[in-house]
Structure 1
Amino acid sequence: MQSEHSPIAEVTPAETFQELTADPSARLVDVRTKAEWAYVGLPDVSSTPSREPVLLEWQVFPTMAVSDDFGQTLQSACPDKSTALYFICRSGARSLAAARLMSALGYERCFNVTDGFEGPPDAHGHRGTVAGWKASGLPWRQN
């Protein structure tokens, strides 16, 4: 079992989409907030065997306190610890923390999606144009 400080593999959004398409048991775990899902959008994995991302807040808006039951809730949603879990957030920090937790809880294949859904800000301070899921041209939807 990895510790919370064990390295977590980093994968690009394109690699993540490819793996979700190739591995029917793989799951995308979106750890952003309900507000982000509603106002920024969601990765659309409906064309993959995974069908829908697991939506589970790592930090709860508006306080941004780490969710006390994140690990337990994700274990209930994905009980097979050999399942490949691809964690995504806005830019890659929250998802890395979530991947480390689940790795420490015995999940064997945890991956962090580099640059997340929106990536870093561009020269004008706007996200979603430089890197990340949206900028990679991968499918996404607005709720």
Structure 2
Amino acid sequence: MSYAGDLTTQEAWSLLTESPDAILVDVRTPGEWKQIGVPDTSATGREAGFVPWVNDQGQPNPSFISDLAALGLEPADGRPVVFLCRSGQRSIGAANAATAAGFGPAYNVLDGFEGPVGPDGQRNVSGWKVANLPWKSL
């Protein structure tokens, strides 16, 4: 089973602000959260969830599904889950795994938190931060 679909960062923010049950789950690593910052969804009245898809060494998180459940998500509850990673790749796997486990609808944020590398070698062409959506340092 495939996840519900891809969202632009603005579409993701709109879903989070318009749907009282939607939750953003950042699936980057703890190192990325500390070094780069995290999305700030406090304006929605709900905090983002933080569940790594892989660890800092790139190994899969064996407790990913149970970690989602620990956020208060339940299979088949219909609660929209928006997955975010650095550039929209790892979050595809997370959205697929969540969907297979019955969570969702699950969505992937296309450009992630930082987006792809631009012509200057920096991640400054798209993504959550470039779209000026709320974020904070840890």
Category of TM-score, reference length = shorter chain:
over 0.9
* Identical aligned residues as a percent: 38
- What letter is aligned with 1:136? A
Match of 2:51 among 48, 56, 80: 56
Q: Which residue of 2 aligns with 1:35?
A: 31
Unaligned 5+ runs, structure 1? none
Q: Which residue of 1 aligns with 2:78?
A: 82
Normalising by structure 1, we get a TM-score of: 0.90
1:34-63 per-position Cα deviation (integer Å, ceiling 9, x unaligned): 01100101111111132x1100111011x2
TM-aligned CA deviation for residue 7 of structure 1? 5.0
1:98-123 per-position Cα deviation (integer Å, ceiling 9, x unaligned): 00001001124100001100001111
Q: Does 1:104 align with 2:96?
A: no
Contact 2:9 2:127 in 1 (8 A): yes
- What letter is aligned with 2:129? K
Contact 1:8 1:96 in 2 (8 A): no
Unaligned 5+ runs, structure 2? none
The 1:108–1:39 alpha-carbon spacing in structure 2 relative to 1, beyond 3 Å, is closer
1:47-94 per-position Cα deviation (integer Å, ceiling 9, x unaligned): 1132x1100111011x21000010111023212531100000000111
- What letter is aligned with 1:71? I
Contact 2:53 2:60 in 1 (8 A): yes
Normalising by structure 2, we get a TM-score of: 0.93
Match of 1:117 among 92, 113, 116: 113
Structure 1 vs Structure 2 CA RMSD: 1.2
How many residue pairs end up in the alignment? 136
Distance 1:8 1:120 in 2: 22
Match of 1:20 among 1, 16, 32: 16
TM-aligned CA deviation for residue 19 of structure 1? 1.1
Q: Which residue of 1 aligns with 2:59?
A: 65
Contact 1:20 1:49 in 2 (8 A): no
